[in-house]
Chain A
Amino acid sequence: MNTQLKGTIAETIKKEHLGLRERGLPEHSYFEVEFADNSKAHEREHNWSDISEEVLVKSMGRVKAVRLCKHPLKKISISHAGQTVTLEVPPKHRAYQAIIAESVLIPNQGTVNHIIGRIVGLVNENGEVVEERSINGLTGEVFGFKN
């Protein structure tokens, strides 16, 4: 059942007809966002690429490429392998999230591709990352920093 209010941000964004698995994701790995108008979007129905743009930001003294949400957010959550991280998005800040994956050249086995975890972060109006959290699905740990 569609519980979104008509005319909300969530209603205006493109819907994805493929499920998480069909897009190569495990069922336990997804993002959820609550927009400024209280409408919500979940990765089961949406792609982050459709609501974000690639932007270069500053993080720990380096340049980092992230995909920032184009719409105003109240909060963003990432879940992976049973762990969930939620960040409130302050005024004048934008959020990014991404899947962390790995391709490994393994002796006598070939190349193995797998998803390791998720990452989420906040960027201030100066284009600086002020908070970042990542879920490592291999160790079950959550890492990150807050400036």
Chain B
Amino acid sequence: MLAPDITFRNVSSPWDPITPPLTYVQTVAGVQLPVLQGTQSDIQAIRIYNNFACNPNVSNALNVHITTWDGAGAASHTASTLVPSQHWLHVYEYGYGENSVNTVDVFTAFNGTDTAVGGTQQYLIEHASDVGDLTPTIRAYSNNSGYGYVHVITYLNVPSNAPATTLLWATSVSYEYTT
């Protein structure tokens, strides 16, 4: 089996890939403003798909975790900057489904647990892409009922003592699979 093909995508059709950075803002009276100290951002909803391309022989992604790290390369698994080290990003699962690529979107709501993430403090997906499966699994392809996704809500909770500056970080989805 091949590795899962995990992609970050928009939550509405045609579910285009997200081009980073995911930008967090705060809407006040219809105007998008930077997120101020001591406040929360607007939510950013994203879908995490496995095998959106519907290729054969792609593995399910097991034990899917979400967190933030400092960045890329040497910073890919460090959490010393503000967003990952202080767990500013909040994540929770909001829905799941399968087959949205080829058929009418199948979306089932699920209210996950709001979790502040960063570094080794991670959000473990609570409901699989498959109906009735309470495991952290995003299926890839299984008897044509795969192409799974989970739909997650994210937002920033910015402390009152945060600096007035632009911050960048990496958002990570880790998972297990077998050949």
Using a CB–CB distance below 8 Å, which chain A residues touch chain B? 16, 23-25, 43, 47-49, 52, 54, 56, 62-67, 97-113, 115-116, 119, 136, 138-139
Contact = CB atoms under 8 A, between A and B. Distances in A.
A52 B178 contact: yes
A121 to B, nearest CB: 11
Nearest to A109: B72
Interface residues of B, number: 40
A65 B65 CA distance: 13
B62 to A, nearest CB: 5
B20 A49 contact: no
Nearest to B61: A101
Interface string B17-35: 1111110000000000000
A7 B86 CA distance: 57
Contacts of B171: 104-105
Contact of A113 (B6, B124, B168, B179): B6
Given A65-B135, A106-B72, A108-B21, A101 B177 contact: yes
Contacts of A49: 1, 59, 178-179
B158 interface: no
Contacts of B141: none
B174 interface: yes
B76 to A, nearest CB: 7
Given A101-B174, A105-B22, 12 more contacts: A23-B1, A24-B3, A62-B124, A65-B135, A65-B136, A67-B178, A98-B178, A102-B173, A103-B173, A104-B171, A109-B72, A136-B77
B178 A99 contact: yes
Contact of B175 (A16, A24, A56, A101): A101
A54 B61 CA distance: 12
Contacts of B77: 116, 136, 138-139
Given A49-B59, A108-B21, A103 B178 contact: no
A110 B19 contact: yes
Contacts of B18: 105
B7 to A, nearest CB: 7
B3 A102 contact: no
B2 interface: yes
Given A65-B62, A111-B17, A24 B176 contact: no
A136 B78 CA distance: 13
A99 B20 contact: no
Nearest to B166: A107
A48 B20 contact: no
A31 to B, nearest CB: 9
